[in-house]
Every structure is written in structure tokens, then in C-alpha cells.
Amino acid sequence: MVAKKEVFKEAFKNRLLEDITNRWLVGLYDLNDEMLRTSIANVISELCINNDWITSKKDKDRKIHYFSMEFMVGKQLKTNLVNLDILHEVEDVLDEFNIDLKALFDTEIESKTANGGLGRLAFAIMNGTANLNVNACGNGLLYKEGIFEQHFVNGKQIETQDFWFNSEGSYEWKKVQPQLSKVCKLYGEVKTTFVNGKAKFELVDYTPVKGIVHEIPIVGFMNNRINTLRLFESKGLNSKELKQLGLNHFLNNSDVNNRYHNHCEQITDVLYPRDDHHEGKLLRIKQEYFCSSIGLQNIIEEHLRKHKDIYNFHIFNVLHINDTHCSWVVPELMRILLDEFHMEWNDAWHITKNSITYTNHTVLQEALEKWDIHMVQSLLPRIYMIIEEINRRQNETYDKAIIRDNMIITANLLVESAYSVNGVAEIHSDIIKKETFREFNYKYPNKFKNCTNGIEGRKWLLCDGMELADLINNKIGTDWQYDFKKLSALESYADNRQLQNDIAEVKLQYKKELVEYIRETKGLEINPNAMFLTHTKRLHAYKRQSMVALGILDIYHDLLENPNKEVVPKVFIFGAKSAPGYHFAKSTIKVINEIAELINNDERIGDRLKVVFLENYNVTLAEKIIKATDVSIQVPTAGQEASGTGNMKFMMLGALTHATLDGANVEIHDLVSDENMYLFGLRLNEVEELNRQGYNAWQTYNNDPRIKRVFDDLIDGTIPNCYYEGKSVREEILNNDVYYVTKDLPAYLDSMKQIDEDWKKPEIWYKKVIKNIANSGFFDINRNIKDYCSKVWKTPEDIKIFE
Ligand code: NBG
């Protein structure tokens, strides 16, 4: 092993120097960071990835094709080196050249091909499949821009474009695969002809869009498995290609041709273009269909190459649809089987419905997609015909109909077509069975499953929390790195004072690093010994950042009224982007920023309370914040958060959870029980009861002076500079408190007392911390993948083998 590592070091050193010379025509010391990273990625690929990648691609096992509009790739250099087990060797070689590898990690760009938990999960799933040697491939889009970069100007969110590629449009881990390019067809007309009495459908006068395939390797943990993430880029066809297809009218004049190219390229310009107008909606459908079509055409081609026969497609392929965006895979597969392979409807439908699996990620009505049939009819005429025919044959009641009120209900299309539908945490999976898809659950009782989400334990604990991981290694060895469940061995050290102190020490170090970052970016002085309480996730009313903000105002009043009271100093940390057109969320950002301004500058408060809202929350920021957190705030209204995955990361990195019983907080509770987390608030059945009874927030406001005071702060000038936003947050909550902020706020505040009490006794606090870390192994992504393999991706039982 040692000898092998020495050989690798020598080879790496030599090849790196060669690559730098040949690629850049400069010497080692004239490189900038981007050039250096590119050369390193290239040499690592050549020495440790490419051969295994080719072998993995040849795998003929049943293959999982994971379709997702988002994959949050994050920084790759460190994780790849850790997974290939060459981190120290690469570090040594670079040391010889006086290059600091850790500093280089910081310069890496983060891909902007995702926006939140859904995208991070998708990438984690890709990683998990590679770790467990599961044959899998991701299908997504190569956006030039992420959703937006967030800036605060006078406390308000401002959005700017979020380009992410290296200077020449490259990204060091990605390889273009021009031979895999495919064409997807938009608009046009369906020409119907009859051959031997059978109808044949052909799309004519369509607009072709080329999908260029880029591939990113997904490196398994020390197992030689390299899976692939495919990201598609949209382009227009060149004149030769257009002529070959007989589409000469795009060449008639340069205006038409320019418009054609702009139209095509626009498809993969930006993640989630605004869809509050017709053109925006249309663009979203184009993105979704483009991703589905280019992905599927490649999958079919690969299937035929490996298995020869289209009739056994469903035996060898799973088309996993992550949320509803790529539901177009269903009619697209039908179209290909019917129109290109001339199958009978029933055969094509059998293959389709035994290939599709679907994960639902939300029960929020506004997030469940519906598409206007007129739009789909004109953009995708043949696809629309097929959806209509599926709907006709399905012949269902209103609840289950795929088309109703002139809209296509994509979730219904998927639930009807998929052989497995799963939610992402116990409570969520229950809700989709009992509420969201209740009628379908009667019809298909065995279709619904649960696969509680996971996180990349190795990335978060082993890469980002390396020092914490070392403490764990010292106590229980390194077996847990291969099977995170084995972290449970740490539980027997929960009372070990030495370990408790060591963890406290490491956490303090992480907090100091964050303090430094806050000083640099915000010019704010923070006491690292204070308790750090964090709420980082997308801004949404149901996630209740507003409740946390109101809670801070209550603490503020308490401090002013009791200047001599001995208190636990607290720092509240927020990170959240709001959708650009989401009024309430944007107002909440402004309110929190102004509360921060007020409190941080109030000399009477000193460092007993501080509030920090960090701009542009992303993976890189998460890496700094999560490990520096003492209290993880997870407070959605029960029944609203499908799972949450941040909650799992905080737990694994030694934070205690202050939470409502919702999403995967339920599983955290099952694992560590009441005494090792801080639960409060309405339970799901109580929320449901209140929904039935109706609830008047003004009543609570009038009866509870504490509540009244913090709501009035929003409009009575206590918080300067945000009357308008304060008023709108106040009124929106009090007039229609669908997320029960006023109802849960007193319980939220009361439950903080216990947190303070425990914090004052480090032997109690860190005992709980150790118990949390010890039980967090359940959330490692490998467990999640095992769930998918055993419950979802296995071959359906009643599958038909065509002779
Ligand atoms: C999100 C949920 C989270 C969940 C992630 C990943 C969407 C549509 N849903 O609770 O809100 O953790 O999906 O499953 O982004």
C-alpha cells in the first residue's frame, strides 16, 4: 500500500509538471489558481479516474437514471481526493512546490446548477450510488447562471446574475462528449398518415434544439466505481445540420437564423427563470422537456448498445424522476416507443410504467406544477396528444385526473405512471398517502413508500469537520467511515469529560473561524464563546424565519428591561434567499436585517445578543456555518417541511436541534429522544385540528402582551427603516396566520429556557452533543441509497418479459 502510494506520488508529480508545461506553456510559478486546479483535476482524472470510469460505464446491470432539474455539485477537489484516498499524497507533492492545497480548495468555484435542499440531495444520491457500487447516472441541465446572487442593499435583497464557469466557460471536472449530442424537437405540427390501417404520427416543421452532453465523474469511496452526472447544454444546429434535416427555412435570412440560435441557447441560460408571465412559463417547459428528451434519447441508445432489444428496456433501466419537473420523460418514452419503434400502445405503456419511479419533495400546493394545455399543445403537439391519450385511458375522477380544468397535473401523471412513488421522511410520506395522493393510495396501495433523505456524511464530517472526525477516530477507530451507523459506538463515550472538552475545543475553533469571516464580510465583532443559533435555508413563510425574528425581539426587550440579568450570550445567524417575486419573504429579509442593525448597534446590549444575516447562502457558506453552530433552528409549521437535510448536517457536526416535530426532525427525535433535543410547538394533528376549526391570530395578539409587543415593534418605530416591510409582515401573519406563527411563538420562547439551562452546564451540553453525533449515522446517504435499492429501484414483481 505504502509503496503504491509512493508510486502514485511520483507519477502525480511528474505528470503535473508535464501537464502544466503542455497545457499552459508557462512555468509552475506563473500559474494562477484556476490554471493550477485545472491541471490537478486533469492529472488526477488521468491517473485515478478515467480507466475506472470507462469500466463503470460498461456495467450492464440494471441502471438507475436519475432525472433532476437541480444537482448541487459543490466543490469537488477535496471530496474527490478524499474519496480516492490520495489527499495526503497530493498535499505532500504540492508542499514540495510550496503550494498550499487548503488555500487552493478555497479558490474553487461552486457549480450553480441548483438552488436548495432538493439539488443537494440529488447530488448526494449520485455520490451514494457510487459509494455502494450501484449502476447510476444523473441527467440534468448545464445552466450558465445559477438562480441569482444575493446582495443586501439597505437591508433589502438585490438579485444579480450568478455566472459560475471558469474564465473560458470551462469547469475543471467536466468533459464535453460531442458524440452524445442529440436533438430535441419543439413546436411544429403532427402529420398523421395511415399505413395498413394503422395511424403513423410524424412531427413536421419543428424547431430542433441540440443537446450537448457534458459529463462529470462521481467518485465512489475507495471502490473504483465512477458514476456519471450528465448535464445538457442547449444549442442551435449549424447550417449543415439544418439542411440535412430539410429545415432550410431557418437559413432564409440572418435575422431568422440569429433568432433561432438565441432561442435555443436561452433554454439552458439560467436555473428556474421567472415564471410569473407566459414566456417564463414556456421557457420552463422547454427546459424540462429538453432535459427529459436529451437524457432519454441517450439512455435508449445506450440500452440498445448493451442489451440489443428495446422490449427489455424496463428490465434494465429505472427512470427516476426527482420531483415533477422531468415528468415529460413519461410521454417522451411513450412517443419514442410508439413512433420510432412502432410498438402497440399496451406494450409501450407496460414498459413505461415499469420503468418510472417518482420522488415527491413537497406538499405545498403552489409548488405542485400545473401546465396550461394550450401552451403544451402548441409547444409539444405530439407529446400533448400522448398525455391526452394516457388521460383518456386512465378515465379517472377529478382528484386523480391527469388533465383537468384545462391544466396538466404533472404529479398525477407521475403517480399514475410510476411503479413506485416515495416521500422523503416518514411524516411526509404519510401525508402524501393520506392527503396529497389519497385517492391514488386507495387505487394503488402498494405504490407508496418512504425513503427518508440522507446527506453525504463523508463530505460533511470527514472533509469539513476533519478535526471533529479525528476526535471520533481516536475513540472508536475509523470503521465508521465505511459504515456511518458505526458512529453509534461513540455513545458510550457520552460522559467522557475528556472527549466533551475536546469537542468543545474543536467547536470553539470552528466558531472562531466563522467569527473571522463575519468580521471580514460584515465588519461585526462577535464573541466566539456565545451560543451560536442558526437558521439557514430558503426563505419561506412556512419555514418561519419570521417567528425566530420575533423571538429575537422578545429577548431584546428582556435584556433592556433586565440590564443586570445574567444571561447566556447568543448570536443568531441567518442565511436565506427569497424568490425574487415573493413579497412576504423579501419583507422578512429586510425586517431581520433592520433588527440586526438595531440590536448590534445598541450599546446597552453589548455582546449579550447579536444578529447576523449572511448574504448569498450556498454550500461554501454552509461549510463554514454548520460546524460552528451550537443550536440548529428547525421550526417549520408541522406538516409543511417535507424533510429538510440541513437539520441532519447540523446534528452530525455537533449542534443540538431546537425544533418542531416536522420533516426529518421526527426521525432525529426517534433517534435521540426528548432529552437530547428541544422540541416545542403544534404537532401535526393539532395543526390539522386548527385548520378545521379556523384560527384567529388577533385573539392571541390581544390576549398575550408579549406577542402584542413584538408585533407592534414592527410598526411603532422600534425598528427603524422598515415601517413598510414591518407592516406587511405583521399584517400578513396576523390577518391570516396559516403557518401558526402566533400560536407557536410562546412555546418557542419558553423552550429556549431549557436550552440556556443546559448550555450553562458543559458536561450536560456536550453529553447531548456526543449522543447526537453518535446517532447521526442513520442520515448518511448510503442508508438512503440502500432504502432506494430495496424499496424503489428493484425490479417490479408483476413485470412482463416480452418473448
Ligand atoms: C425540498 C423540501 C425539503 C427537502 C428537500 C429534499 C423542494 C421542492 N423540496 O424539505 O422542501 O429536504 O426537498 O427532499 O425543493
List pLDDT tens digits, range 26-67: 998 899 999 999 999 999 999 999 999 999 999 999 999 999
For the chain, give the percent of residues with pLDDT over 70. Answer: 100
Kindly tell me if the per-residue pLDDT of 541 is higher than 70.
Answer: yes
Kindly tell me if the per-residue pLDDT of 169 is higher than 80.
Answer: no
CB 481 within 8 A of CB 458: yes
Establish whether 645 is a catalytic residue: yes
Question: How many angstroms is it from 368 CA to the middle of ligand 1?
Answer: 12
Establish whether 361 is a catalytic residue: yes
Which atom of ligand 1 is found nearest the CA of 323? Answer: 8
Question: How many angstroms is it from 6 CA to the middle of ligand 1?
Answer: 44
Mean of the pLDDT values across residues 5-10?
Answer: 95
Residue 319: the pLDDT is 98
List pLDDT tens digits, range 226-237: 999 999 999 999
Q: Which of 71, 147, 424 to mutate to test the pocket of ligand 1 (most atoms within 8 A of CB)?
A: 424
Indicate if ligand 1 lies below 6 Å from the C-beta of 644: yes
Residue 3: the pLDDT is 80
Nearest of 149, 146, 120, 163 to residue 271 by alpha carbon: 146
List pLDDT tens digits, range 409-436: 999 999 999 999 999 999 999 999 999 9
Which atom of ligand 1 is found nearest the CA of 424? Answer: 14
Which atom of ligand 1 is found nearest the CA of 644? Answer: 12
CB 577 within 8 A of CB 150: yes
Mean of the pLDDT values across residues 179-189?
Answer: 97
What distances in angstroms separate CA 715 from CA 548, 649, 702, 721, 725, one per listed residue? Answer: 17, 37, 16, 10, 9
For residues 672, 673, 674 and 677, what is the CA-based torsion angle, rounded to 10 degrees?
A: 20
Q: How far apart are CA 134 and CA 531, in angstroms?
A: 42
Catalytic residue among 284, 537, 577, 767: 537
Question: How many angstroms is it from 102 CA to the middle of ligand 1?
Answer: 32
Residue nearest (by alpha carbon) to ligand 1 atom 12: 644
Indicate if ligand 1 lies below 6 Å from the C-beta of 295: no
What is the distance of C-alpha 419 from the center of its chain? 24
Handedness of CA 790, 796, 797, 801 (dihedral sign): negative
Residue 558: the pLDDT is 97
Residue 167: the pLDDT is 79
531 DSSP β-pair partners: 570
Residue 575: the pLDDT is 98
Residue 550: the pLDDT is 98
Residue 365: the pLDDT is 87
Q: Which of 66, 71, 72, 118 to mutate to test the pocket of ligand 1 (most atoms within 8 A of CB)?
A: 118
Indicate if ligand 1 lies below 6 Å from the C-beta of 323: yes
Residue 77: the pLDDT is 95
Nearest of 706, 708, 687 to residue 697 by alpha carbon: 708
Kindly tell me if the per-residue pLDDT of 252 is higher than 90.
Answer: no
Indicate if ligand 1 lies below 6 Å from the C-beta of 367: yes
Residue 695: the pLDDT is 96
Establish whether 583 is a catalytic residue: no
Catalytic residue among 75, 361, 382, 610: 361
Number of neighbours of residue 606 by Cβ within 10 angstroms: 12
List pLDDT tens digits, range 256-314: 999 999 999 999 999 999 888 999 999 999 999 999 999 999 999 999 999 999 999 99
Question: How many angstroms is it from 361 CA to the middle of ligand 1?
Answer: 5
Residue nearest (by alpha carbon) to ligand 1 atom 6: 118
Question: How many angstroms is it from 273 CA to the middle of ligand 1?
Answer: 19
For residues 160, 166, 170 and 174, what is the CA-based torsion angle, rounded to 10 degrees?
A: -90
Instruction: With cut-offs at 50, 70 and 90, classify the pLDDT of residue 486.
Output: very high
For helices 723-735 and 705-713, give the axis angle rounded to 10 degrees.
140
Kindly tell me if the per-residue pLDDT of 1 is higher than 70.
Answer: no
Which atom of ligand 1 is found nearest the CA of 453? Answer: 14
List pLDDT tens digits, range 113-143: 998 899 999 999 999 999 999 999 999 999 9
Q: Which of 69, 361, 538, 645 to mutate to test the pocket of ligand 1 (most atoms within 8 A of CB)?
A: 361
List pLDDT tens digits, range 744-759: 999 999 999 999 999 9
- Tell me if residue 652 falls in helix, strand or coil: helix
Give φ, ψ of 68 to 5 degrees. -150, 140
First to last CA, the chain: 50
One-letter amino acid at 675 equals: E
Nearest of 504, 568, 527 to residue 753 by alpha carbon: 568
How many helices (H) and strands (E) in the chain? 33, 22
Instruction: With cut-offs at 50, 70 and 90, classify the pLDDT of residue 798.
Output: confident
List pLDDT tens digits, range 354-397: 999 999 999 998 888 999 999 999 999 999 999 999 999 999 99
Q: How far apart are CA 527 and CA 571, in angstroms?
A: 8
